[in-house]
Amino acid sequence: MSSTDYPRPHAQLHLGVFFQGVNHWTIWSLPESGSQIDFSSFRRMIGTAERGLFDAFFLGEGLRLRESGGKIHDLDVAGRPDAITQLAALAGLTSRIGLVATQNTTYNEPADLARRLSGLDLLSNGRAGWNVVTTDNAWTGENFRRGGYLDHADRYVRAEQFLTVARQIWDSWDTDAIATSTDAEDWADPKGIATVGARTSQFDVEITPTLPRSPQGHPVIFQAGDSAEGRDFAARNADVIFSAHGSDFADALAFATDIRARLRTAGRSEDALRILPGTEIVLGDTEEEAAEKAHWIRLHQVTPATALAIAGQVWGIDLSDRDADGPLPAEDPVVVEPTGEMGSRRWKDPREIVRTWRDTAEARGLSLRETVIALGPQRGHVGTPAGLAEKFAHFVRAGAVDGFNISPYLTPDGLDDIVDRLVPELQERGVYRERYAGTTLREHLGLAGSGFFR
Amino acid sequence: MSRPLHLAVELDGEGAHPAAWRRASHAPAALLTPERVRALAQVAENAGATLATFDDSLLPPDGVGPVGRIGAVERAAFAAVHTSVLGLAPVVSTTYSEPFHVSSQLASLDFAATGRAAWLVAATADPAAARSLGRPTVEGEEALRREARDAGRVARDLWDSWEDDAAVRDVDTGRYLDRDKLHYIDFVGETYTVKGPAIVPRPPQGQLVVLAPAGLLPAGAADVELVEGRSVADLAGDGPGLRFAEVEIALDTPAHTAAERLADLDRHAPWAAGPRLRYAGPPGGLMALLEELAGVVDGVRLRPAVLDEDLPELSARVLPALFRSGTAARPQPGTSLRTTLGLTRPASRFARHLTPVEGTA
């Protein structure tokens, strides 16, 4: 169809980059695989993203080193900086790109976290974002003073109350509270700064905030939960939702339609939220070359040891001494209760999963490792720059996504070909900006208003 | 002759005087901008200071000064990319903070600053801080010291919880980490426990430089103790680590004497004399004082009354002469803060040193 037949013929694609911290998708074994922790890697990646006119640079958060089988998991990239600290440094090296920190509402307090995010927002002249996440396991709590955990059901209750308090903190200073001259009576008008108090099921606090609003009002709120509760939370509270629904068009459109319905229920405009699925992008000169490269990448991501570790989690037994390139384990899986290790991952009945694995391996004549790859998440888009630009234009104009949050498979150069080859193709099709129009993250995302809730 | 003094300078707000903002060279709101943070850090670095400190609190400062303040860790991280030899020491309180977060934030600062980060340990006695975090008040000197001791211990343990070479990237076995080089810290204190290991790998300096007011941490727990005294004689003493004297300063400028400047500010709010050494007068007198201090302490932390007026004087008239005379030394490019301060880079406390070497048994 021609672009005028689309529901959103003039829609623009928004791109973010996710500097991954803990995962097996970032290939660490190649000569070109750089450091995951040296500051120079972050400087390089964010510089490329800003050159590519990306909306935002994202950092995840880790609160406990992952384990499998009661031992520290040793196969994946691990070790990452504190997100807000790192982004405050990167704010000084960039001028436009948004800086989004994943931060947990379970093991933080509003007075502290809202202030740190405000500081990032001021130091970046209005480019801060907060990806709101929750934890519900006591295993993570073992690293924290408050210890313990929240019930699964309470995690969004606390998150929502947390966000309400944070917004009150961000709104506490009148825009003209600070004196305009050194001859003024006070540095700030005491009547222009509100004390924030909250007595809720999760909080009993009284705060005198120390920071004014930034040029974008509030940090932009991101959210990533995919459960019904998570989607409702996003529909009520978020400016941007990360999703896992961006590879298949019909799936992405169904997700977007569902979110828009939830937005209406929450009394918000359908245009109040941006949908940015996470994705991996593999480019080649031809479709065949891209497909070959994608398979080669997959083999480096799912190494024999990683394939055995993933299978071991499904089977509930240590398979590390098996042959990953041989057949599936003959034994039945052991049904174990989830322990909260590796974050809060929960498995379906392993017997059911193993049945699917066996059926797939048998039907297609696959080894264990090939089965892991075949049944693993379909993480993204593979093609030529021109082909993917066409595809993305279709996705965004049809309203299936507002953009993508790209996870490069290489650090720190994994964004180079996307910026150098895909971005110009998108620009040629009129679905991507030629220059930044504004200076704040809120402006890049085309979000209405300033974020002020008062 | 005594060893050269280390020079630290406090960069919070508009200066140490409570009314300092009235003599600032900009409108009040400019304090809370990236340009201000960058400018101050660069002036301190260009002047030749070894270390900048950034005071902080969750609460607004008392009294008549600015009530706005960007978090010290965020300011230090932002300053890190605009400087190349200056050490950066944010104040982070130990009383109500989460030690796991604090440890991660400071280790990350050391990565961003490529080995120039420090931690100025503080305690928070004001119950309003507890109220803002919804936590029970920690009351009394002893409890404050206990929290500081535990938080300091946890941070140091977490910085050591990854050995330097824990990320082995062994392609043959598929292992990114050597789990034998990662360590649970299993900290058990009186009010909380922390499991570990850290999320951030061991920072470039191995251990950040830890500064603390004298007496807050147990003996030997700080690398640098900040000591107070109203006279040089009061500052004499000894300790297991380095000792930096706290010195408040106000200097004559080409336009006004220090006395005139202070009189102007004191009209708005008095700068009450406290337990610290204070100097007000011509630059030459400060040089003489610092030369005297060089025989008594390892360094000084200068607290300028008004940053916009006193930093330029320090930079133009005091520090260059101190460097020429050898009373103080500039940090060298490419060195870590530990190296500049003459501190060694410690091995991880969890590393096994007892592996027998073949043929030596």
**Shortest alpha-carbon distance between residue A114 and chain B (Å):** 11
Q: Give the tokens for residue A164.
A: 């309400």
Question: B176 and A147 in contact by Cβ < 8 A?
Answer: no
Mean pLDDT over residues A6-22, rounded?
94
B323-351 pLDDT, tens digit per residue, is 999 999 999 999 999 999 999 999 999 99
Q: What is the pTM of this model?
A: 0.96
Give the pLDDT score at A409: 95
Question: B111 and A39 in contact by Cβ < 8 A?
Answer: yes
B119 touches chain A (CB under 8 A): no
- What is chain B's mean pLDDT, rounded? 95
A165-190 pLDDT, tens digit per residue, is 999 999 999 999 999 999 999 999 99
Q: Give the tokens for residue B333.
A: 């490019």
For chain B, give the secondary structure using H, E and C: CCCCEEEEEECCCCCCCCCHHHHCCCCHHHHHCHHHHHHHHHHHHHHCCCEEEECCCCCCCCCCCCCCCCCHHHHHHHHHCCCCCCEEEEEEECCCCCHHHHHHHHHHHHHHCCCCEEEEEECCCCHHHHHHHCCCCCCCHHHHHHHHHHHHHHHHHHHHCECCCCEEEECCCCEEECHHHECCCCEECCCCEECCCCCCCCCCCCCCEEEEECCCCCCCCCCEEEECCCCCHHHCCCCCCEEEEEEEEEECCCCCCHHHHHHHHHCCCCCCCCCCEEEEECHHHHHHHHHHHCCCCCEEEEEECCHHHHHHHHHHHHHHHHHHHCCECCCCCCCCHHHHCCCCCCCCCCCCCCCCCCCCC
Radius of gyration of chain B (CA): 21
For residue A345, pLDDT over 70 is answered with: no
- Give one word for A219, left, alpha or beta, with left for phi > 0 and alpha for psi -120 to 50: beta
Facing residue for B201 by CB, picked from A79, A93, A147? A79
pLDDT band of A137, cuts 50, 70, 90: confident
Per CB-CB distance under 8 Å, the chain A contacts of B59 are 208, 210
**What letter represents residue A229's amino acid?**
E
Facing residue for A208 by CB, picked from B27, B37, B59? B59
Q: How many CB pairs under 8 A join A and B?
A: 225
A338 touches chain B (CB under 8 A): no
Q: Give the tokens for residue A128.
A: 């801060």
pLDDT band of A53, cuts 50, 70, 90: very high
Facing residue for A304 by CB, picked from B174, B191, B196? B174
Question: B71 and A180 in contact by Cβ < 8 A?
Answer: no
Give the pLDDT score at A149: 67
A119 touches chain B (CB under 8 A): yes
| Residue from B267, B353, B352, B247 nearest B310 by CA | B247
**Shortest alpha-carbon distance between residue A77 and chain B (Å):** 6
Whether omega before A215 lies within 30 degrees of 0, making that bond cis, reads no
Report the share of chain A in percent with pLDDT over 70: 94
Instruction: Give the separation between CA A272 and CA A263, rounded to whole angstroms.
Output: 8
Give the pLDDT score at B3: 83
B338 touches chain A (CB under 8 A): no
Chain-centroid distance of CA A452 in Å reads: 24
**Under a CB-based contact definition with an 8 Å cutoff, are residues B16 and B61 in contact?**
no
**Under a CB-based contact definition with an 8 Å cutoff, are residues A108 and A169 in contact?**
no
The DSSP string of A214-282 is: BTTBSPEEEE---SHHHHHHHHHH-SEEEES--SSHHHHHHHHHHHHHHHHHTT--GGG-EEEEEEEEE
**Shortest alpha-carbon distance between residue B224 and chain A (Å):** 24
B111-162 pLDDT, tens digit per residue, is 999 999 999 999 999 999 999 999 999 999 999 999 999 999 999 999 999 9
A354-392 pLDDT, tens digit per residue, is 999 999 999 999 999 999 999 988 779 999 999 999 999
Rounded to the nearest 5°, which phi and psi values hold at B176? Answer: -80, -40
Rounded to the nearest 5°, which phi and psi values hold at A445? Answer: -80, -5
pLDDT band of B359, cuts 50, 70, 90: very low
Handedness of CA A165, A170, A176, A180 (dihedral sign): positive
Instruction: Give the separation between CA B285 and CA B52, rounded to whole angstroms.
Output: 23
In this predicted complex, what is the ipTM? Answer: 0.96
Closest chain A CA to residue B66: A187
Per CB-CB distance under 8 Å, the chain A contacts of B147 are none
Q: Which residues pair with A283 in a beta bridge?
A: A383
A266 touches chain B (CB under 8 A): no
The helix, strand and coil proportions of chain A, stated in percent and rounded to the nearest 5, come to 40, 15, 45
| Residue from A401, A378, A398, A393 nearest A431 by CA | A393
B182-210 pLDDT, tens digit per residue, is 999 999 999 999 999 999 999 999 999 99
Instruction: Give the separation between CA A260 and CA A389, rounded to whole angstroms.
Output: 25
**Shortest alpha-carbon distance between residue B129 and chain A (Å):** 8
Q: Give the tokens for residue B22.
A: 């009235």
Question: A86 and B69 in contact by Cβ < 8 A?
Answer: no
Instruction: Give the separation between CA B50 and CA A275, rounded to whole angstroms.
Output: 47
For residue A344, pLDDT over 50 is answered with: no
Question: B29 and A178 in contact by Cβ < 8 A?
Answer: yes
**Under a CB-based contact definition with an 8 Å cutoff, are residues B137 and B130 in contact?**
yes
Per CB-CB distance under 8 Å, the chain B contacts of A85 are 73-74, 77, 104-105, 108-109, 112
A299 touches chain B (CB under 8 A): no
Question: B100 and A125 in contact by Cβ < 8 A?
Answer: no
Tell me which of B25, B108, B137, B170 to substitute to probe the interface with A (most A C-beta atoms closer than 10 Å).
B108
**Under a CB-based contact definition with an 8 Å cutoff, are residues B187 and B196 in contact?**
yes
**Under a CB-based contact definition with an 8 Å cutoff, are residues B337 and B209 in contact?**
yes
- Which residues, including other chains, have CB under 8 Å from residue B273's CB and lie 6 or more apart? B230
B233-272 pLDDT, tens digit per residue, is 999 999 899 999 999 999 999 999 999 999 999 999 999 9
Instruction: Give the separation between CA A132 and CA A242, rounded to whole angstroms.
Output: 11
In angstroms, the Cα distances linking A277 to A131, A438, B319 are 14, 23, 55
**Under a CB-based contact definition with an 8 Å cutoff, are residues B58 and A180 in contact?**
no
